[in-house]
Amino acid sequence: MLVVRGFEGLSATERVSEALRQRTSRAIGGLWGASSGLLLHVLQRQARSAMLVITADDDESQALAGDIAAFRGADCPTPPARVLITELTDLDGQVDPVTRSQRVQTLTALRDEQFLLLCSLAALLQPAPAPRSLRRGRLELRTGAELDPQKLFERAVAAGMTRVPVVLAPGELSLRGDVLDLFPLGAVHPLRLEVFDGCLESIRWFDPAEQRSLRVLDAVELDLATSRAEAEVLDHVLRRDLVVLRHEPLRLEERSLQLMSQGDATDRALQRFRDATAGLPVFQLSSLPGNDIDYRILSAGSAVGSGETDPRGRLATIRGPRGHVRIVCATEDDHTRLAQIFAHQGIDPEQQDISFAVGSLTRGFRIPDAGITVVSNTEFAGVPSKPRVREKTAIPSRALASFFELGPGDIVVHAVHGIARFDGIELVKRGTAAEDHLRLSFRDEVTLLVPASKVHLVQKYVGSGDAAPKLDKLGGKSFAKRKAEVEQALFDMAADLLDVQIRRETLERPPYPSDPLEDEFLDGFPFTDTADQARAWTEIRGDLEGPRPMDRLLCGDVGFGKTEVAMRAAFKVAITGRQVAVLVPTTILAEQHAANFAARFAPHGLTVEVLSRFRKPKDVRRVLADTAAGRVDTLIGTHRLLGEDVRFRDLGLMVVDEEQRFGVRQKEQIKQRRGSVDVLTLSATPIPRTLHASLVGIRDISTLTEPPPGRQDVETRMAFHDASVVQQALQRELQRGGQVFVLHNRVESIEQAAAQIRRLAPQARVVVGHGQMTEREMEAALRTFLHGDADILVCTTIVENGIDLPRANTILIERADRFGLAELHQLRGRVGRSSNQAHCLLLLDRATPISTEARKRLKALEEFSTLGAGFAIAMKDLEIRGAGNLLGPQQSGHIAAVGYEMYCRLMSAAMDRARDGTITAEVQRYEVREVDVDLRLEAFLPEEFVADPKQRLELLREMDGAVDPRGAAAIGGSIADRFGALPGPTQNLLATFLLKHLLLDHGVLGIHLVDGERLVVRHPPGVPLGGAWLDRFRAVRQVEPGKTHLMLPTMPLPRGTGATPEVLGPHVLRLLLESLLGTDPLPMMAEAWDGPTHRRPRGPRP
């Protein structure tokens, strides 16, 4: 409150407050950095009316909202500032459900009489649902009340919601019998309603990613607001006491002209708004002086470039001669780290008049008249502050979730019999018993029915690319032979990796000690670490502080934060006086890395240089001399760094970015460095989890699978090259103030392509870049675009790696059919680096035939557009880039021979033996462990319980994870949560999966109920059946090697029924579970299987 009170006491603030009371329009200037947010917070506290703040774009609105929140106390009585974002459409003109939902949520919240709404000009002028439709859409639901799920479903569809199999995004719903899932617009979580006998039995919020319930509610107000935009935002905000504030009026005027050029509809909407607000007070908020009321607010004197490395010196630089300092930390962890730095330096915040807050701050400021300085923790650390991206509702990926789903016609691998075709799930009945089976067709259309309890033996085949693999002959020897060859190859590879690991164990170097400067450097990261980033840094720091040279692979998809982790490793080495080399595949990437490293390293007195073809010869000679003399701490460059004339005085760390992009000779030079220096290799393709798990302990790997907060998927679409399509895509991005890449990969015609772009977007600033330009021309073009002085870059694939530009969120790729899938994924990764929705348009030539292979590649890129989709894309292209880059290209042939999942299982077995030190010259074969269970049960998933075939197979795979009673209870509970209480046959099926795993642990190969008196058990011939679990049976008789009869005890059968196998089945299942576990697990499991309502299921229990 000290900052707020000091600001309120300024004469300029008193004059603004008086104008607000008098409702007199004023132009206010001299506002610097986050002081606009402070002024808005003060005005909201003083006003008794609603306030509308108009900004140039959504990012400005979000930044202002963060600044306002940084000055609100926990007990602030005024409502928080709300942001109305621009509603986005995809390349087909379809509305993005997340932005539509967020707009509805914001507009619904404007019922508060004293709202503070931040709204970009574009968001303000967009159509919106009418206020009356938002009011009419409200419906109160309460448990115990009557409810017809079908009628509610129809009402939701009428309101514009879309039916889907699984609810993931706002505006979707799914009806499964008596369970209705729906995700209303404006809701934070989707809702699950469960009805029984016409009565609403349960209301639950659920997590769309896990499909598990989060919270049980007694009642809820459901908002089925129509998604139809039939009114204007003005209808929601206009009232007699409204105050309008225009943030940075010069930018707003420029933005108005841009929007008006888009068409008459926007022009008319803007004029209607001006007419409607003509009589209201309007305040202009500007950073420029010369207004009705001017503040004297200065820059905080950021420590950026000040050369100060000591916190006391930075404090003096930021504060000036006197006054209070408020440091706004991005997270509680940042606050804790900064407090530790102060304690280490002997700085007492209370004595030094320093206070802390947690929040987001665009830029700090200093008010000399009030003796107040406000800075972010990154500015205090000497790094320019960056506005934080807004959090966005994460929508789970349908594409990635379905990658290993099976559908009829898909090619599969049976672990014993080989490659086949999956024809669907078939219910096989024998008398009163029934069980789900997977129907597989082998060569010559020979069919095999695989019981559902053996679903683990069947995996989707991935491995042969566009060519369909040959089906194996059922009972043939071809698959067994191929599998043996793969096992031998994996044995050799595991042995080699183990040998490398053993040799590394003999190397030593002095550890890099922990240093408090590292905490200061981490404080300079202007964003919040993802959990993966924090874990990867902990692993790398542990390597560097250990006695042996590091050789670690850091894997993560495009834009997932690998550079920040590598930068921390480089800093840790550089502050000890040793040098760092950063090797990158392209000149552009070298230049951008150099700029980023220098910005972070300069405040700590560390020197960063770059070797690239953009440097003049005399500069190259100077850099080489300084490097050899030890005056360069970090040297960044392409393969030029490997030249014989590049000499380091004391090289400690080499960071290699995308090693697979270098040639054989360069790779050999890198390999020679391993062992003598620490090596950190970065890869932009994630290693699959299954491979990663297999390699832990053999190869040091860190993975980044979590995208930075606020990042969105890149919406991807194919289209024929058409002037109207291109113009629409350009206008969509330019309208929101963004930038566009246009990729034209033919140098001889690139100027004609740029001329066409200029005709389609005459208001845009267009530059051209390609590899045949001179160094000076190329540098000028790229710098113009990077600094925001150009709107569109028409270029070749020079941008595949390197350009990191948050404002560029649309890329158009001409003749996309000429590119490989992995290359397209890298190009698409140039956009989507901010919280804005990014677009990738794959343009095709209508007059040129497109091959089937190219069409499949482009369709795969379109399908796998989610964040972190690099692995799925690589598998689809059959490069298996994670495995190929890590294990060598020869492995891709082995993957094709047996399929990806089988390959991973075989590798896991080889790696396990390597870790245990049990590898011998003779390969130990991967054994397929299975057990046949036939208890004459009804064990299946009824179609009326789970109708979708893919979901049924997915559930069978989940059930196969029931290895113990708790696991079975959790899996059954999850299914009951989503679909309702488990029917009797489904309970039997899940209990059978559990029984199968328990019998495997006792060496049982098969168990069959043959009549009303005995079970026939198969087991290895040389291993007699034994154990306490057999004590429950009347007799145990081995009738031949590998076959034993178990005589059943007297069973408590229902009166009037005979001891037939069909009647006995459920009782025998329970007897076996109780015998193997020593206790009856069914009561505990059944409680979970009834679902959150604990309703009795349909059908008998096992």
Q: Residue 213: which CATH number?
A: 3.30.2060.10
Helix axis angle, 984-1001 to 1061-1077, nearest 10°: 50
Statement: residue 391 has pLDDT above 50: no
Mean pLDDT of 545-564: 86
Pick the most confident of 231-235, 310-314, 352-356. 352-356
Do the Cβ atoms of 427 and 938 come closer than 8 Å? no
Name which of 105-119, 312-326, 678-692 the model is least confident about.
678-692
Name which of 392-396, 634-638, 1060-1064 the model is least confident about.
392-396
483, part of any domain: no
Average pLDDT, the chain: 82
Report the C-alpha gap between 466 and 853 in whole angstroms: 6
Tokens encoding 179: 């369970």
Exposure pattern of 266-298 as b/e (b: 16+ CB <10 Å)?
A: beebbeebeeebeebbbbbbbbeeebebbbebb
744, part of any domain: yes
Verify that 947 and 851 share a domain, yes or no: no
**pLDDT for the residue numbered 687:** 52
Non-local (6+) Cβ contacts of 832 within 8 A are 559, 711, 712, 713, 714, 809, 838, 867
Matching residue, tokens 């964040």: 867
Statement: residue 390 has pLDDT above 50: no
Verify that 125 and 267 share a domain, yes or no: yes
Confidence label for 1068 from pLDDT (cuts 50, 70 and 90): very high
Report the C-alpha gap between 755 and 767 in whole angstroms: 10
150, part of any domain: yes
> What burial class does residue 1039 get, using C-beta atoms within 10 Å of its C-beta: 0-12 exposed, 13-18 middle, 19+ buried?
exposed
Verify that 119 and 175 share a domain, yes or no: no
Do the Cβ atoms of 64 and 117 come closer than 8 Å? no
**pLDDT for the residue numbered 397:** 41
Statement: residue 955 has pLDDT above 60: yes
Q: What angle do CA 901, 907, 909 make, to 5 degrees?
A: 110
Domains held by the chain: number? 6
**pLDDT for the residue numbered 807:** 82
Mean pLDDT of 155-177: 87
**Amino acid code (one letter) for 297:** I
**pLDDT for the residue numbered 872:** 53
Verify that 313 and 254 share a domain, yes or no: no
**pLDDT for the residue numbered 998:** 93
Statement: residue 174 has pLDDT above 80: yes
142, part of any domain: yes
Q: Can you give the residue range of the structural domain that contains 60?
A: 2-130+232-294
Statement: residue 399 has pLDDT above 50: no
Statement: residue 139 has pLDDT above 60: yes
The torsion defined by the Cα of 606, 607, 612 and 618, in degrees rounded to 10, comes to: 180
Do the Cβ atoms of 1046 and 1033 come closer than 8 Å? yes
Verify that 236 and 334 share a domain, yes or no: no
Verify that 723 and 804 share a domain, yes or no: yes
Name which of 96-100, 364-368, 532-536, 1007-1011 the model is least confident about.
96-100
908 compared with 591, residue with greater pLDDT: 591
826 compared with 443, residue with greater pLDDT: 443
Mean pLDDT of 945-972: 89
Q: How many other CB atoms are found less than 10 A from the CB of residue 546?
A: 13
Last residue of a domain, one of 189, 223, 257: 223
Statement: residue 394 has pLDDT above 50: no
**pLDDT for the residue numbered 988:** 93
Statement: residue 386 has pLDDT above 60: no
Confidence label for 90 from pLDDT (cuts 50, 70 and 90): low
Last residue of a domain, one of 380, 414, 435: 380
Confidence label for 319 from pLDDT (cuts 50, 70 and 90): confident
Confidence label for 134 from pLDDT (cuts 50, 70 and 90): confident
709, part of any domain: no
Verify that 971 and 1076 share a domain, yes or no: yes
- Tens-digit pLDDT profile for residues 559-606: 788 999 999 999 999 999 999 999 998 887 888 899 889 989 988 899
Report the C-alpha gap between 304 and 378 in whole angstroms: 10
Mean pLDDT of 54-83: 86
Q: Which spans in 866-938 are helix H?
A: 870-876, 881-887, 891-898, 900-916
Confidence label for 170 from pLDDT (cuts 50, 70 and 90): confident
% the chain with pLDDT above 90: 31
Q: What is the CATH number of the domain that holds 333?
A: 3.40.50
Do the Cβ atoms of 1038 and 1027 come closer than 8 Å? no
**φ, ψ (nearest 5 deg) of residue 347:** -100, 120
Q: Which of 256, 270, 244, 253 is nearest to 126 (CA)?
A: 270
Statement: residue 690 has pLDDT above 60: no
**Helix (H), strand (E), coil (C) string for 372-436:** EEEEEHHHHCCCCCCCCCCCCCCCCCHHHHCCCCCCCCCEEEECCCEEEEEEEEEEEEECCEEEE
> What pTM value is reported for the model?
0.62
**pLDDT for the residue numbered 138:** 75
Tokens encoding 648: 């380091």
Verify that 34 and 78 share a domain, yes or no: yes
903, part of any domain: no
**pLDDT for the residue numbered 696:** 55
Statement: residue 98 has pLDDT above 90: no
The torsion defined by the Cα of 810, 811, 817 and 823, in degrees rounded to 10, comes to: -110
Mean pLDDT of 775-787: 82
**Helix (H), strand (E), coil (C) string for 997-1058:** HHHHHCCCCEEEECCCCEEEEECCCCCCCCCHHHHHCCEEEEEECCEEEEECCCCCCCCCCC
Verify that 602 and 739 share a domain, yes or no: no
Confidence label for 887 from pLDDT (cuts 50, 70 and 90): very low
Do the Cβ atoms of 50 and 241 come closer than 8 Å? yes
Verify that 690 and 813 share a domain, yes or no: no
Statement: residue 166 has pLDDT above 50: yes
Mean pLDDT of 796-815: 80
Do the Cβ atoms of 134 and 160 come closer than 8 Å? no
Looking at the chain, how many residues does it have?
1102
DSSP-based three-state secondary structure for 826: helix
Do the Cβ atoms of 183 and 173 come closer than 8 Å? yes
Report the C-alpha gap between 400 and 397 in whole angstroms: 5
**pLDDT for the residue numbered 1094:** 45
Name which of 22-36, 64-78, 279-293, 392-406 the model is least confident about.
392-406
Mean pLDDT of 752-769: 92
344, part of any domain: yes
Do the Cβ atoms of 281 and 16 come closer than 8 Å? no
Non-local (6+) Cβ contacts of 808 within 8 A are 738, 739, 740, 741, 793, 830, 831, 833
Report the C-alpha gap between 973 and 1097 in whole angstroms: 12
Please tell me the chain's helix, strand, coil percentages from 3-state DSSP, rounded to the nearest 5: 40, 20, 40
Q: What is the CATH number of the domain that holds 1016?
A: 3.90.1150.50
- Tens-digit pLDDT profile for residues 974-1027: 999 888 889 999 999 999 999 999 998 898 999 999 887 899 999 998 888 888
**pLDDT for the residue numbered 720:** 87
- Tens-digit pLDDT profile for residues 506-547: 788 899 999 988 888 887 787 778 888 999 999 999 999 999
Q: Give the DSSP letter string of 608-643.
A: EEEESTTS-HHHHHHHHHHHHHT--SEEEESGGGGS
Report the C-alpha gap between 451 and 886 in whole angstroms: 37
Q: What is the DSSP letter of 472?
A: P
Element of type H or E holding 583: strand 579-583
Confidence label for 714 from pLDDT (cuts 50, 70 and 90): confident
Do the Cβ atoms of 66 and 360 come closer than 8 Å? yes
Last residue of a domain, one of 360, 380, 400: 380
Name which of 693-697, 987-991, 1068-1072 the model is least confident about.
693-697
Report the C-alpha gap between 932 and 457 in whole angstroms: 12
Verify that 372 and 313 share a domain, yes or no: yes
446, part of any domain: no
**pLDDT for the residue numbered 886:** 43
Verify that 653 and 747 share a domain, yes or no: no
**pLDDT for the residue numbered 632:** 96
**pLDDT for the residue numbered 750:** 94
Q: Are strands 219-223 and 138-142 parallel, antiparallel or unpaired?
A: antiparallel
Report the C-alpha gap between 923 and 911 in whole angstroms: 12
Report the C-alpha gap between 572 and 58 in whole angstroms: 37
Report the C-alpha gap between 1060 and 186 in whole angstroms: 57
Q: What is the CATH number of the domain that holds 246?
A: 3.40.50.300
Tokens encoding 213: 């319930």
Name which of 296-300, 310-314, 346-350, 1035-1039 the model is least confident about.
310-314
